Structure 1
Amino acid sequence: MVWKPEHKTGIPIYRQIMNWMVKQIEHGHWPAEMKLPTQRKLAEQLQVNRSTVIQALEELKADGLLTGKAGSGIYVSQPGWHELIHGAIPRWKERINQSLCQANSQTIQLINDFEKRTDILRLGTGELGPELIPSGALQGTMRQVAITERDFGYSEPKGHIQLRNALTDYLKTRGIQANAEQIVIVSGGIQALQLLSIGLNSGQLNMFHNSPSYLHSIPSITSTSITSLDKMKLKSNQSFYYVIPTLNNPTGISLSAVERQELIKACAAVNLPIIEDDVYRDLAFEKPPLPLKSLDHNGQVIYIGSLSKTVSPGLRIGWMVGPESVMDHLADLKMQLDYGSSAIPQLVAAEWFRSGLYEQHVSALKKQLKQRADFTEALLNTYFSDFAEWQSPQGGFYIWLRIKQPIVTKALFQLLLKQNILINPGYLYAPNDYEHIRISYSYCSREELARGLKKLAQELKARLGGINNEH
């Protein structure tokens, strides 16, 4: 019987195919210089998409086990075969695949690689465009802030006291009462999640969340989509409930005040702590309800904030707020990993909070984002209204665009990439979601948005036309 990958193992299909191909070489079934079947033939044999086969072949070519010959096909390489059979090199790929921290999906790796190119239209990028970053004001603060000799050394485990003190005042305006010892400075929301994931469990911590979720796009964090908290009681000792209550990534939806109260109550009933990721809160066009942390009277919520979305991702400034004993432990763990965040950007951030520069900047930024959101929605009405739907943005960066047919596939992503257009497909945020695209209006210029969205609409219409012609 011909081998085929299994779809319920949790191991990506392309990796299963890679492992199978390596075994064919190890066992001598595929000798050096053997020509492989065509990509189409392999896809038919293994009953997978051709793009999945291509991904596996490209990985093995990068490892030196396969080689491509122009106009001829793909072969088992002589050096790779010899080294694998005779054990001349460590099997690094095998070690990587056995790692507790899994690599990003191919789509995310391609996004990370191509975002650095200046000729790419980044329609899904989750960061501020260069013209929205207050670089001049930040440079001015850097020249003015007093930096001592000690600030050029290692920082305190929990972060610079000036920034933590400034954050206590900032958090009060959000209804959160916290002292400096309940705050840990991190290099952004991702580091906060990683510290929580490895620092508060006796095995492997699982984060529950509703779907779609940004958490699904971070494979190094174990997460599970759920529809009800009632079933989580038995697992709550090694679990958290992760939520972005204001301007969820990727949907842009915010929970109402009532929904926030109900969520706190439901999680408390099953003894499930909450991770509140609130990095978009200050970008809401209308004042949102108070954070979950402001409703927390029992140390149930760990709160995450950041300047990456509101000021600059290059500052690498974020923070966690929680019970002091938990923050003590996580600060100690952070010291083991990176020996503390740099004091210099912390001092800049502290000055921005203390002087009122932060509030002034955010007020102006929201107006600019609102203009961009309105412009983008007008483009969607022009090019997408007959085959897609969406909700008007409430703030932040994103519009969660739903195409009325499941055509947002990896093949579409790769086709657009060849046209220098980067999208963030729905399958990054929910398994098998081939209907959604996360559209960002925060990065591209108006001209780039107009050009990119027009091309995207044309490509989607062409695919929809092909489906209609088949019927």
Structure 2
Amino acid sequence: MNNQLDRNSDIPLYQQIEQIIKEKILKGEWPVGTKIPSQRKLASIFCVNRSTVTAAIDELTAEGLLEGKRGGGTKVTKYTWSGLASGPALDWTSYVRSGIHRPNSLTIQEINRQEVKKEIIRLGTGELSPELLPYRDMKTILRHAEAEKLTLGYEEPKGNRYTREVIKDRLEQKGVSVSPDSILIVSGALQALQLISIGLLKRKSAVLTERPSYLYSLHVFQSMEMKLCGIPADEKGLDPAVIPACKKQCGADLLYTIPTFHNPTGRQMTEERKKELIRISKQQCLPIIEDDAYGDLWIDGPPSPPLKAFDQDGNVLYVGTLSKTVSPGLRIGWVAGPEPVIERLADIKMQTDYGSSSLSQWAAAKWMESGLYEKNLARIRNKLKIRRDTALRCLEAHCEGIASWEKPSGGFYIWVTFHKPLQIHTLFEKALKKNILINPGTLYDQEARQSIRLSYSYASLSDLEKGIRTIAELARELM
């Protein structure tokens, strides 16, 4: 909306803002009952003083288009002459509130809005920087499309057979032995979790996961009224020894884990603990979702094999993706597990979207089969090492004495915990005013009020230095 203001016009800015909001109301973009952005938010959107926004809101309120209530914000109201003449208006707000899928937290919604701004330094973004994405190799692959393997129609329920065969070969290199019939192609790892939540689990199930965990930042399971139960973890990963007691306490039906380059802590589970986790999983009849989104992104040396490599009983559903290593825009991932489970998830997926993009599936297969994937990984690992080491140097220079962190041996993240209490959301807001975007630790654990997830995969080296220095300054002020 900011771009709609004409600062050279004779029409005052507040009247231009008034007209923009009025058009959104009259065109039905903001229907009756819609809670409009706060005055502070609108001032930020339009890049004007708050008093300018207040003047516009006052005019619209006087016209009967808006109504403000103490503690309830300002909402679109039906009390206009046109509204009274046309009868009751459709209340879309009630529909929005009644949907079963919970909305993102306000902080995540704000992060999603801010990430598109070019001037923002993104210290929390969990994806590769555009300069690290393999545009040239992707063009080469698409330019040499083979007609006999590339189809533009719908694929079979589990996904393109050729692609599943290539993924099978790729998993064998990791020590995971599965057949193509035990693999389902999905539109990214997040869809795998969505399919599992609605296809395998009943409402109000309990799910064990590390604390902190990426899963706490999602509402995939919570939207099905499921309970997340945090289990302790240290520098060696989650502690399998506590699982029996935790399972008994909350009646857990499933365990979700990111054992390799964990999100958000960057840790990796030791091979000994992986084997012990598999043993306890079998003993407790506890299925496991292994999220291996970052497993190929090692920096200091290859990690131990995935959990699935030690699974001889079909207890592990293994989730992989190309979003972190090739392109988030490709939207291709996979689930490997027992064939009956894969068939169930495939049936749910067909009901949901009738299969992932056939073009993306073909491109994914060509990436892995052609040798370009390994070549790209080598390049990415070198770049990530430079970025990680830069971030660590900046932390040592600016955060020594006020925070602690661990050196990750792969992945995207460093978990930074400040030594003294501070208002983490205030830190988030103050940083945002300086065009720096961070991910508060409370997104991954409500009790992590002194932590942030620092990503070194997206921001440039100069932005990493500037961003970390500024965050340190703000943190000192708040502490």
> Corresponding residue for 2:280?
266
> Corresponding residue for 1:279?
293
8 Å CA contact retained: 1:123, 1:440: yes
Please report the TM-score for the alignment, with normalisation by the length of structure 2.
0.78
User: Does residue 340 of the first structure (1) align with residue 355 of the second (2)?
Assistant: yes
Please report the TM-score for the alignment, with normalisation by the length of structure 1.
0.79
User: Does residue 152 of the first structure (1) align with residue 167 of the second (2)?
Assistant: no
Aligned counterpart for 2:387 among listed residues 369, 372, 381? 372
Q: 1:125 to 1:77 in 2, by over 3 A?
A: closer
> Corresponding residue for 2:229?
225
The amino acid across from 2:195 in the alignment is L
Render the CA deviation track for 1:49-99: whole Å, top value 9, x for unaligned.
xxxxxxxxxxxx9xx86449xxx9998768357889x99334433443333
Quote the Cα distance in structure 1 between the aligned partners of 2:73 and 2:218: 34
Partner SS, residue 417 of structure 2: strand
Partner SS, residue 442 of structure 1: coil
Deviation at 1:328, TM superposition (A): 0.7
8 Å CA contact retained: 1:305, 1:318: yes
> Corresponding residue for 1:249?
263
Partner SS, residue 452 of structure 2: strand
Partner SS, residue 302 of structure 1: strand
User: Does residue 407 of the first structure (1) align with residue 405 of the second (2)?
Assistant: no
The amino acid across from 2:123 in the alignment is L
> Corresponding residue for 2:58?
none
Aligned counterpart for 1:311 among listed residues 326, 347, 355? 326
Quote the Cα distance in structure 1 between the aligned partners of 2:417 and 2:248: 36
> Corresponding residue for 1:190?
190
> Corresponding residue for 2:444?
429
The amino acid across from 1:153 in the alignment is G
> Corresponding residue for 2:365?
350
Partner SS, residue 296 of structure 2: helix
Render the CA deviation track for 1:155-200: whole Å, top value 9, x for unaligned.
2211111110101111001000011100000111100000000001
Deviation at 1:225, TM superposition (A): 2.5
Quote the Cα distance in structure 1 between the aligned partners of 2:102 and 2:189: 19
8 Å CA contact retained: 1:276, 1:293: yes
> Corresponding residue for 2:234?
none
Deviation at 1:100, TM superposition (A): 2.2
Quote the Cα distance in structure 2 between the aligned partners of 1:253 and 1:368: 19
8 Å CA contact retained: 1:123, 1:441: yes
Q: 1:78 to 1:124 in 2, by over 3 A?
A: closer
Partner SS, residue 209 of structure 1: strand
Partner SS, residue 290 of structure 1: coil
8 Å CA contact retained: 1:66, 1:80: no
Quote the Cα distance in structure 2 between the aligned partners of 1:253 and 1:305: 18
Segments of 5+ residues of structure 1 without an aligned counterpart are: 1-38, 40-60, 465-471
Deviation at 1:202, TM superposition (A): 3.5
Partner SS, residue 158 of structure 2: coil
> Corresponding residue for 1:127?
127
Deviation at 1:434, TM superposition (A): 1.0
Quote the Cα distance in structure 1 between the aligned partners of 2:73 and 2:467: 38
Count the aligned residue pairs: 400
- Amino-acid identity (%): 41
Aligned 1:36-185 pairs, distance under 5 A? 66-67=67-68, 79=77, 88-147=88-147, 151-185=151-185
Render the CA deviation track for 1:104-134: whole Å, top value 9, x for unaligned.
0000001111111111110110000011111
Render the CA deviation track for 1:322-367: whole Å, top value 9, x for unaligned.
0111101111110100010111121111111111111111122111
Deviation at 1:385, TM superposition (A): 0.7
Partner SS, residue 281 of structure 1: coil
Quote the Cα distance in structure 1 between the aligned partners of 2:371 and 2:314: 29
Render the CA deviation track for 1:256-277: whole Å, top value 9, x for unaligned.
0111111112222221100000
Q: 1:320 to 1:76 in 2, by over 3 A?
A: closer
The amino acid across from 2:289 in the alignment is I
The amino acid across from 2:110 in the alignment is L
Quote the Cα distance in structure 2 between the aligned partners of 1:205 and 1:352: 38
Quote the Cα distance in structure 1 between the aligned partners of 2:470 and 2:343: 51
Q: 1:76 to 1:462 in 2, by over 3 A?
A: closer
Partner SS, residue 224 of structure 1: strand
Q: 1:256 to 1:238 in 2, by over 3 A?
A: closer
8 Å CA contact retained: 1:204, 1:238: no
The amino acid across from 1:170 in the alignment is R
Deviation at 1:431, TM superposition (A): 1.1
The amino acid across from 1:330 in the alignment is L
Deviation at 1:461, TM superposition (A): 1.2
Q: 1:74 to 1:365 in 2, by over 3 A?
A: closer
Segments of 5+ residues of structure 2 without an aligned counterpart are: 1-38, 40-60, 232-241
8 Å CA contact retained: 1:197, 1:204: no
8 Å CA contact retained: 1:276, 1:301: yes
Partner SS, residue 254 of structure 2: strand
Deviation at 1:408, TM superposition (A): 4.6
Quote the Cα distance in structure 2 between the aligned partners of 1:87 and 1:429: 46
Quote the Cα distance in structure 1 between the aligned partners of 2:116 and 2:291: 27
Q: 1:383 to 1:78 in 2, by over 3 A?
A: closer
Deviation at 1:237, TM superposition (A): 8.5
